[in-house]
Copies of this chain bind each other. A is one copy, B any other.
Amino acid sequence: MDIRIHIKKPTLLLDKNKCTRNIENMIDRAKRCNLSLRPHFKTHQSAEVGEWFRELGVNKIAVSSLQMAQYFADNNWKNITVAMPVNLREMDLIDELAGRIELNILVESAESIHHLEAELNNKVNVFIKIDTGYHRTGISAEDTDGIQNLLNYIKASTRLQFKGFLAHSGHNYQANDPDEIHKNHKKTVLDLNELKDVFRSQFPDLEVSLGDTPACSISDEFFGIDEIRPGNFVFYDMMQFVLGSCEEDEIAVAMACPIIAKHANRNEIVIYGGGVHFSKEYLEADEEGTKLFGSLVNIKPDGWSPIMSGGFLSNLSQEHGIIKCNEDFFNEFQVGDLIGILPIHSCMTANLMGSYLTLEAETIEMM
């Protein structure tokens, strides 16, 4: 079989072997570090990929929206954390889900707690979102008074069951190297342990949940942490490769794009594949700020090659991509050929593409 004959337009290829190996590796790390694994499913958003996790023993997940929780609940997942501060405008959906699965939601304000208590009919588990240095959402780990205040409201409520503290070290995605990830991670683990110590007498069963692919991919130091929630590791991508979170051959997805034009006077190859396929995320390839929208691989009958030198995806408009390359590279490809691109951010690319094609030519749908 030659997978290439099935590819007519920009197509997101999924290497099931690499993907399954990534899942197994994360399960191994969780076991080794005595952690419960709650993978974040926002990266793949697919019931079928979810089954690959389930077959390896995973039985609880995180998602990033209530719609995603609903989709996976409909696909028989019984324990789901919606890892976003709760959206009070979706109270009906929260209530419906809380009535049929073990639903965990995130709170970080008194208003949210009051609304939930007043408007829910079913009981729901809550985590308090803790800010460990990313400064996007959550209460600072040092603000124990603020946390105690929320805990008092939760204790007094009849609908909310306190589960523990949840953090996301999003700043690890902006780290310069693995050392910086390790350093951030150590501080996060320390802060969360201190927090646990303060509140453990009141809540002996409180759990601490932490989740980011960089730290979960390279660290074995999770003392005091109960659960990890990485998501991106299922596919990885160029951002994680550059960060040092994965090896190149662990990247489990590649876009296959048809070549639609060539311009010899400027050594540029135009692909059918743009911002509506990849998203427009980029890495800076050098100190002059040259933008890298993806690295190039050769699409083969049964998969893709290692990254090819001599060219890179240098620009994206809505439907077109521009490959800048040297003359040898330029001459290797013809209009109508396919070229492969390892995406910068696989979560965003998968979200845009809406389905996968496995190397066995099976189409896998997403929500």
- Please give, as numbers and ranges, the residues of chain B lying within 8 Å of A86 by CB-CB distance: 260
Is A300 an interface position by the 8 A CB rule?
A: no
Partner of A108, one of B112, B137, B261: B261
Closest chain B CB from A31 CB (angstroms): 28
- Please give, as numbers and ranges, the residues of chain B lying within 8 Å of A275 by CB-CB distance: 279, 281, 348
- Please give, as numbers and ranges, the residues of chain B lying within 8 Å of A90 by CB-CB distance: 8-9
Closest partner residue, chain B, to A68 (CB atom) = B319
Q: With A109-B262, A111-B336 as given contacts, are A318 and B85 in contact (CB-CB < 8 Å)?
A: no
Is A258 an interface position by the 8 A CB rule?
A: yes
- Please give, as numbers and ranges, the residues of chain B lying within 8 Å of A317 by CB-CB distance: 136, 170
17 A-B residue pairings within 8 Å (CB atoms): A7-B89, A9-B87, A84-B272, A86-B260, A108-B261, A109-B261, A111-B334, A111-B335, A136-B315, A136-B322, A170-B317, A275-B348, A276-B351, A279-B279, A280-B280, A318-B347, A318-B348
Q: Which 9 A-B pairs have the closest CB atoms?
A: A88-B336, A85-B260, A8-B89, A85-B261, A64-B319, A89-B258, A111-B335, A276-B351, A87-B272
Contact B64 A318 (CB under 8 A): yes
Is A352 an interface position by the 8 A CB rule?
A: yes
Q: How far is the CA of A87 from the CA of B88 in the complex (A)?
A: 46
Closest chain B CB from A365 CB (angstroms): 15
Closest chain B CB from A172 CB (angstroms): 13
- Please give, as numbers and ranges, the residues of chain B lying within 8 Å of A320 by CB-CB distance: 84, 136-137
Is A135 an interface position by the 8 A CB rule?
A: yes
Is A42 an interface position by the 8 A CB rule?
A: yes
